Homo-oligomer: A and B are copies of this chain.
Amino acid sequence: MSQPSQQMIREIHEQPTAIAETLDAESGNIRELTALLKREGTEYALIAARGTSDNAALYGFYMFGAIASKQAATAAPSLLTCYDSHVDLKKTLVMGVSQSGEATDVIEVLHAGRARGAITCALTNTDDSPICEAADHVVLTHAREEKSVAATKTYTTALAVMHQLATLWGGREDLADDINRVPEWIEETFTTNEPIIADRAERYRFMETCHWLARGMNYCTAKESALKMAECCYVVPSPFSTADFMHGPIASTDWGFPCFVVAPEGPTFASVAETTEALTERNAELAIMSNNAEMLKRANVALPLPNMPEECTPMVAAVLGQLLAYYIALEKGLDPDHPRGLHKVTLTF
């Protein structure tokens, strides 16, 4: 194994603190914004982002829909930047998510939102970045500087903000406080799972492709973990909603094909369990993240999740995906801190 690289793993471990600091600093700000949304009768949300931030947007999409009962959509920036669509955005929260605050097409979506009557909000890790000027409201993640090219703490802190926005906008005070336990659940998963992952990563030394499978709230986990593996391990992973997966891609999955499955107990558990059954029948290779003991018995590599509300699991499961990407990269002799051909900030026009 090559000499462990330090930035990414250090930042992975900073996540409990980063989430706690983000909540401490921003909860008042988020309460004010959600009070405004309720006062204005805002019923729609449009979230623009790219790359890792787009996976945070996807979590927001599910949280706004499932928890706040708002009609949400992840924006296709090209509609506004390439096609000049004249969609009406009144009664809509337009959010732009960008850790660097420099994502050009995300900023364009905020400009369009402002011009068309939306309430606009930037979610970024970078105070005084261009995105902050494009939005009426700014919510910051307090993850401090992220040096690793592979985003980790800026992702989970953005999820924590989305959780608070959705629970408070939806008047779900009964769920809002759960977020404060996420740092300890992440610490618990370091204790339980990091030794397992460090030990078992060698199994994936020659893995060239894999599936990441999840449903609902954790669809973002599948996409984000696949992205981490693509960036750090140079494997070609395919992320799927298990519902879509059963409609075709399962055909290319048979004996020994590696599948990483996020299967927490909760509203989507039965649906994901159906997929793991089908994969077991095909003798696929299963790494399973779950807090259901029977489910974990199906796994070639079992990664136990804490018992926790399903809507908080994406923040903990994301950490498992980061640890897998990191330790598998090391086994492959790669430097996860310096992926080939990637820069920290990508500008899209």
B251/A342 in contact, CB under 8 A: yes
Q: A83 contacts B71, CB within 8 Å?
A: no
Q: Is A230 in contact with B249, judged by CB distance below 8 angstroms? A: yes
Given A71-B44, A87-B65, A348-B246, decide whether A340 and B267 contact each other with a Cβ distance below 8 A.
Answer: no
* Interface of chain A residues 48 through 71 with chain B (CB within 8 A): 50-52, 54, 61-62, 65-66, 69-71
Q: Flag whether A198 is at the interface (Cβ < 8 A).
A: no
Q: Is A136 an interface residue (CB 8 A)?
A: no
Judge whether A83 and B65 touch: CB under 8 Å.
yes
**Count of this chain's copies in the oligomeric assembly:** 2
Assess whether A92 is interfacial by the CB under 8 Å rule.
yes
Residues on the B chain within 8 Å of A234, using CB: 251-252
- A243 touching B78 by the CB < 8 A rule? yes
A301 at the interface (CB under 8 A from B): no
Closest to A229 in B: B252
CB-CB under 8 A from A215, the residues of chain B are: 78, 82
Chain A positions near chain B (C-beta within 8 angstroms): 43-44, 46, 50-52, 54, 61-62, 65-66, 69-73, 76-79, 82-89, 92, 105, 208-209, 215-216, 219, 227, 230-231, 234-238, 241, 243-244, 246-252, 254, 267-268, 270-271, 274, 282, 339-342, 346, 348-349
Closest A-B pairs by Cβ, 6 of them: A51-B247, A73-B73, A66-B83, A82-B267, A69-B86, A65-B79
